[in-house]
Amino acid sequence: MNILLTNDDGYQAEGLNFLLNYFSNKKHKVFTVAPDIEKSGCSHSLTFSDTIRLVEHKQNLWALKGTPVDCVILGLLGLVPEKIDIVISGINHGPNIGRDILYSGTAAAARQAGLSGMPAIALSINAWRPKFIFDTIAVFLDKYFNKLLNADFKNYFFNINFPNISFDKIKGVKKTIPCINHYYQDELIHFDSPYQGRYYWVKGSNPVYKLEEGTDAYAVKNDFISVSAVKIFPEAVDFDIEF
């Protein structure tokens, strides 16, 4: 099987390279097309008005000065010299649950693969640093990867989140929906340059989740692996205005 790997943490990220080693050891042919630097939070951004520069290229790996969506588009349009069977995005450093799915470049890469008619899976782990427990993900993939491949990917991609704990502490795997009641306690920070200008950044720490059973947030918080099927296209809703 030919697998296209990408992420939003950059081509040197631990999660991405774990997947590269895992799938290579399983005798799959793995191609990596990933951003040259971290692109977390870039959502479905893609490059229209500029060129996309190749920063590094070695055997079956391309690092691009672009977004995760750019990486998927170029990989599927011919940058990768062979036909791809599935796109796998991740392993994201940090969870992608609730509204994270809208912001996440990792999820957007999987969504773009879906838009291109390609099966896609986004993988995330509930940790940033310093230690990731990827062995849990390896056991999950050993048990369930082939089952996931048999799914009908026409209208959705899989968004899978893992607690950062050893597999013997995992309570199980749950089918989930994204948590709706999820927000960040954002804070606007600034400083003034000694020369000119003011600089701002948004500190989006301390996420708050309403832990409703059946959601991705509830599952991960309670030591379950969360598997959500996320629709590629947003659903329209009816409304009560007459035109």
Question: What does the alpha-carbon distance between residue 215 and residue 234 come to, in Å, rounded to a whole number?
Answer: 18
Question: What does the alpha-carbon distance between residue 88 and residue 160 come to, in Å, rounded to a whole number?
Answer: 11
- As beta bridge partners, residue 81 has none
Q: What pLDDT, on the 0 to 100 scale, is given for residue 128?
A: 84
Q: What pLDDT, on the 0 to 100 scale, is given for residue 184?
A: 82
Question: What does the alpha-carbon distance between residue 85 and residue 114 come to, in Å, rounded to a whole number?
Answer: 12
Name the residue ranges covered by the structural domains of the chain: 2-179+211-231
Q: What pLDDT, on the 0 to 100 scale, is given for residue 216?
A: 97
- As beta bridge partners, residue 65 has 53
Q: Name residues whose C-beta falls within 8 Å of residue 191's C-beta, 6 or more positions apart in sequence.
A: 198, 199
The answer to whether the beta carbons of residues 7 and 32 sit under 8 Å apart is no
Q: How many helices (DSSP H) and strands (DSSP E) are in the chain? A: 6, 13
Element (H, E) at 19: helix 14-25
Question: What does the alpha-carbon distance between residue 120 and residue 7 come to, in Å, rounded to a whole number?
Answer: 12
Output the tens digit of pLDDT for each of the chain's 243 residues: 999 999 999 999 999 999 999 999 999 999 999 999 999 999 999 999 999 999 999 999 999 999 999 999 999 999 999 999 999 999 999 999 999 999 999 999 999 999 999 999 999 999 987 799 999 999 999 999 999 999 989 899 999 999 999 999 999 999 999 998 888 888 999 999 998 899 998 887 777 878 899 999 999 999 999 999 999 998 888 999 999
Give Rg (Cα) of the chain. Answer: 18
Name the token pair of 42: 């870039």
Q: Residue 119 carries which side chain, given as an amino acid letter?
A: P
The answer to whether the beta carbons of residues 40 and 11 sit under 8 Å apart is no
What is the separation, in whole angstroms, between the first and last Cα of the chain?
A: 51
Q: Is 165 helix (H, G, I), strand (E, B) or coil?
A: coil
Q: What pLDDT, on the 0 to 100 scale, is given for residue 207?
A: 79
Element (H, E) at 189: strand 187-192
Options 3.40.920.10, 3.90.1070.10, 3.40.1210.10, 3.40.50.720; which CATH number does 2-179+211-231 get? 3.40.1210.10
Q: Residue 33 carries which side chain, given as an amino acid letter?
A: V
Q: What pLDDT, on the 0 to 100 scale, is given for residue 181?
A: 86
